Structure 1
Amino acid sequence: MDPKCWHVELNDGHFIPVLGLGTHAPEEVPKIKAVEITKLAIDAGFLHIDCAHVYNNEKEVGQAIRSKIEDGTVKREDIFYTSKLWITFLQPDLVRPALEKSLKNLQLDYADLYIIHFPTALKPGEELLPEDEHGKVIFDTVDLCATWEAMEKCMDAGLTKSIGVSNFNHRQLEKILNKPGLKYKPVCNQVECHPYLNQSKLLDFCKSKDIVLVAYSALGSQRLKGWVNQSSPVLLEDPVLCAVAKKYERTPAQIVLRYQVQRGVVVLAKCDNEKQMKENMQVFEFQLTSEDMKVLDGLNRNLRYAPYQLLKASPSSLWSMPDMPVTPLQNLHEMLPILCPS
């Protein structure tokens, strides 16, 4: 089957491609690189493009999408574009302007999916991580249900086809789901998910509520210093995973991606060269046995490459991530290049 046909139906009737391209890149990578990478990905068959305001490259990603539409490679309706509402814009009156700004940067008329990036609010303003005079992040208090109502209005206005959330736990999801007068359920919850953190309980909860789990950091992590513990294990070098890859004559990355596909998880893969992109698309050419799926399930060790300990400190976030390790940050702004690595 043509991989372009592999989609999952969302609870609002729209369809999302099960394999997506993560477009986050470290700060030292020139933004113009996003144009080249996104074009290569679309040529390789990636129709699901995941980006965010905080990645600071929506102009470049949008340029690449428009270029591939103009040269006839794809039509706009073929592309599934996801953007994210940053946490300084969670006040209800700021939601639509934030989405409109992303669309202006993209030069697109609508997003296919718009999601709340974190269930934690920071002081409103253009500073991505506002600090006080002591260098401490300035939190804000916001009612996530009111934020969600503003998201629903964006959907009604045709600015986005679907709306969802990211980095929510089951309690935060329930807060939205139980909101009086709920018009649209979240279609997805995007979270860190890989064999070392398989999110089985959250996945079961999301499935029970007809919410799609979307996996970021699915291949492990970019392992950026100052954020990820450099002594943490490298997922794609795991001996058990490598043994499964050898059995199927596939790469460890292909096995990891196929594992998620078979679990019903939409998976984001970060890659920056054509060979890797084409390899990633080959996950639709084979199937893992139930026994090998159990073997991969057994790799779970609740290991988070992206702990986001800072955001856990919010008094209003209801954040709950058991066994989440504390990762010291020498400087708050070290977070910016690495937030939500896909």
Structure 2
Amino acid sequence: MSDSFTPPKVLLVEDDSVFRMLVKRLVGEDFVIDEASSLDAARQALSSNRYECVLLDFRLPDGTGLQLLPEAILLDLPVVMMTAMGHEQLAVDAIKQGCQDYLIKDDLTRASLCRSLANAMRHMQADRQTLRCRIALQKIVTAAATKCRDTSAAIRQLSAIESDTHEPLLDRLEHLMDGLVAYARVTSISWSPEPISLTEVAREAIQDQQHLQPQAPIELISHSTLLLKSDREAVKAICRELLELAALDGAKSVTLETSTDAEEARIDVRFESKVETLKAISGQLSPQAQLNGESGGNMSIEVVRLLVEQLNGRIWLEEDPNTAQIRIKLPNVSQFSSVITG
């Protein structure tokens, strides 16, 4: 029976040759260890060999182990992360992003190493398919956005399409793709919130919009004194898409009001609106539409809704017969655990 046993093959990604020797000595004949000393070498190994598990150091000469994690997940490989003493939080973050286990290098023993590798291969996370889909979504959307930008750049160079009429259309198309790329990023397993100035982001969105529609004045009212912990490009896309919605509806003027406190940020966009536009927005933002995941005809609203929902926020419409007020609340700082872990 022992002659028929084939030890599982593990890829060890570690730049310290002495530590690699230690790992191989600890696991003995229980595992076959292939070595890679960098991310680049690990990628080459993964492309040309089959493995049962990846034992991954966090700090590598050309990056961090987290950069390789999505690629291992797409290959359906369990991953055990290794980190130095005092960096346990990095390992905990890796668990949230799809690792099966983590080990502290200073505490490494034969028993702990063999047990961790065996458990990682035996107990793959039940949500691995969801993680793979999220990684694939980011890759697909990013690739589509790149092709879209390349195409619009080529169109701009065509002498037959150099009029002011077409330039705003191309800008809007690129802005829309920027929003989709931001959505793909915040749904990825590696995303984490960052501190941003909501006032600065709103000003950037206004500058972009005034480039497209200079005849529609936009007033910014900011009560934001605290930083918002969120995603800069996603929040910018939210503001920009709402401003473009108002401009396309023919609004004579638009008000963008922002505020931030320790618990949440608020974004309000107000403009005089056509009745049919109000009905369309109301339908897309209705509780029933959001419950069923229904998409409406207005892509600006749909992109905003997707971004707000992914950031664990809330969006709704307050209206009177002539005015649309689209209101958004986004959580701040402590409310992101469900977003990060998916």
TM-score by length of 2: 0.23
Richer in helix (by share): 2
Larger Rg: 2
Higher RCO (Cα < 8 Å, 6 or more apart): 1
Q: What's the TM-score once normalised by structure 1's chain length?
A: 0.23
